[in-house]
Amino acid sequence: MQEFSVIPKIVQMNDCEELCVQFKIGCDDLIITSRHIFDDHIRLFCNGAQTVFLRDFGKGEPTDVMVDAIADSIKGRNFNRVIAIGGGSILDVGKLFCLKTVAPVCGLFCGNIIPQRDKELIMVPTTCGTGSEVTNISILELTELNTKKGLAVSEIYANYAVLIPNLLKDLPFEVFATSSIDAFIHCIEAYLSPKATSFTKLFSIKGIQTIIKGYIKIAQEGSIARYSMLEDFLLASTYAGIAFGNAGCAAVHALSYPLGAICHVPHGESNYAMFAGVFDKYKQLKPTGELDRLEYTLAKQLGCDKENVYVELASLLTHIIPKKSLHEYGVHVEELKEFAASVMKNQQRLLSNNYTQFTESDILDIYSNLY
């Protein structure tokens, strides 16, 4: 049996004033965001809502230590609804606080605490990459395990996903680049997943088409061209979220997690670092099937022959973000075996969605080729 669902209600709005008015945000709400988003977009309209600013609890992508500290800081507060406004880190953290028991958060992620929902949840993305607003997945770096890990349970679906393209105007190009490439990889991995359906493929293809079209315009006109396409990229990110929220992500994400956890590489960039290596291995192990059909789709969008699709795609993506080898991120060659073992041990949730099965030797080979 194949399933497909879109759980959150998806709402498009013009700005945060409309958000606060329509949802009657006030003192019974907890807003999880960043200080600059709050000051620039929310402060005047939130009617005394309670706040948590993620960066007050640490820098970089979210960790178990940060989430446990937030849980401790809001102990005793009363709120009925969580509104998370931010990038993937803020959305992933925000999801956890609609649960009755959050800390110790490692207990949630390792199955020792049963998730129980007791609050409403509104997700408002300010980047165009994670698609987290429509998924039931939260990703944290678990320092105890020295890796990233995902929690995927229905209890952390949002009630509403609110899309406000205006919030993307503040993104530096580097953040826009890494987040949109993340969305692009979400689309591709979901398309190839064994859990993909006709419905998820519709969203995957629409996301791929939208992002490639946008990247071509940026390559031709420069980074400023993105401002005329913010709604397109935000929608593409949500399309990608719907696709992978149903079909799953796979090896690109699984192999990226040790790089992100050990070297603190941003999520989208670490995925990009793994992308070519994983697809080279797919091509080696299973060149026909859905991969073949995906290559035709990419070639049509890129305006090239199917045989040149990866060369043309690499050339286009280089206009968006430079490609680096693993050693340029500070990875040591002796760590590659540890990375491969960690992926096999901790990322089976993702590896089960692979286009074709990988052994630990295959994973080590990918890391070695990218080193």
Task: Give residue-wise pLDDT tens across range 105-155.
Answer: 999 999 999 999 999 999 999 999 989 999 999 999 898 777 788 899 999
DSSP 129: S
36 vs 38: CA distance, rounded Å = 5
Q: 9-167: which CATH topology?
A: Rossmann fold (3.40.50)
**In the chain, which segments carry CATH 3.40.50.1970?**
9-167
Cis peptide before 104 (omega within 30 of 0): yes
Lookup: tokens for 222: 């420069």
244 vs 228: CA distance, rounded Å = 26
Q: How would you write the pLDDT of the chain (371 residues) with one tens digit per residue?
A: 678 999 999 999 999 999 999 999 999 999 999 999 999 999 999 999 999 999 999 988 899 999 999 999 999 999 999 999 999 999 999 999 999 999 999 999 999 999 999 999 999 999 999 899 999 999 998 987 777 888 999 999 999 999 999 999 999 999 999 999 999 999 999 999 999 999 999 999 999 999 999 999 999 999 999 999 999 999 999 999 999 999 999 999 999 999 988 888 988 899 999 999 999 999 999 998 999 999 999 999 999 999 999 999 999 999 999 889 999 999 999 999 999 999 999 899 999 999 999 999 999 999 999 99
> Cα 196 to chain center, whole Å?
18
Number of other CB atoms surrounding residue 306 within 10 Å = 14
Give the number of residues written for the chain.
Answer: 371
- Are 132 and 114 in contact, with CB atoms under 8 Å apart? no
Region of 62 (left: φ > 0; alpha: ψ -120 to 50; beta: rest) is: beta
118 vs 34: CA distance, rounded Å = 24
**Is the C-alpha dihedral spanning 192, 198, 199, 203 positive or negative?**
positive
Classify burial at 1, counting beta carbons within 10 Å of its beta carbon; exposed 0-12, middle 13-18, buried 19 or more: exposed
356 vs 367: CA distance, rounded Å = 17
Name, in order, each residue with C-beta under 8 angstroms of 256's C-beta and a sequence gap of 6 or more: 265, 267, 270, 271, 273, 274
User: At residue 365, what are phi and psi to the nearest 5 degrees?
Assistant: -60, -40
DSSP 87: S
pTM equals: 0.93
**In the chain, which segments carry CATH 1.20.1090.10?**
171-370
- Are 325 and 332 in contact, with CB atoms under 8 Å apart? no
Q: What is the CATH number of domain 171-370?
A: 1.20.1090.10
DSSP-based three-state secondary structure for 204: helix
Strand-pair partners of 132: none
DSSP 350: H
Lookup: tokens for 88: 């993937």
